[in-house]
Amino acid sequence: MASQGLQQSILGLIRDVPDYPKPGVLFKDITPLLDDSAAFQAVVTAMAEAAGDVTKVVGLEARGFLLAAPVALALGVGVVPVRKSGKLPSETYAETYDLEYGTATIEIHRDALRPGDRVLIVDDVLATGGTAAAAASLVRKSGAEAAGLSVLMELTFLDGRDRLTDLPIHTLVAV
């Protein structure tokens, strides 16, 4: 967890959007946080400091990209996008998973990771754990090690952590 001050800053800069993308879902909008350069820098620093010894950072589409790229730069390692199905131009590995409001498929380039890579998976929100579990599976299919998951916010009432018992998780704030 982040310091009490950083947690309060994060919570004060995340906007709740009811009924998006469908009725009954409370969407956590991080764009106000991204617009606050001091808070954004503090988030990137906290995520990088908790990363441990990694050789790559994987960012999950779409908001995970916004956090993963600066975290990778702070760590001095490469960043690899994990995208929705059909969005990557080369050969991919694919993984289909359940969301809290449907199903989705994500992909990673087959040549993005190598055996021996230690990979930090970065996303904005840990909800049901489906996306993170699918990303970890893609990392392993690539022959690399999923060394951990770092998220800005964990929605504890959805129990996503329970699906990821084999993955160290670092959360900046839990609600």
Question: Which of the residues are catalytic?
Answer: 63, 100
- Return all residues near 82 (Cβ < 8 A) that are at least 6 apart: 58, 59, 60, 61, 64, 106, 107, 108, 135, 138
3-state secondary structure of 171: strand
- Give me the sheet containing 145-154, strands edge to edge: 92-99, 102-109, 78-84, 56-60, 118-126, 145-154, 169-174
Residue 43 backbone dihedrals phi, psi, to 5 degrees: -65, -50
Question: How far is Cα 75 from Cα 121, in angstroms, rounded to an integer?
Answer: 13
CA torsion sign, 67 to 106 to 93 to 147? positive
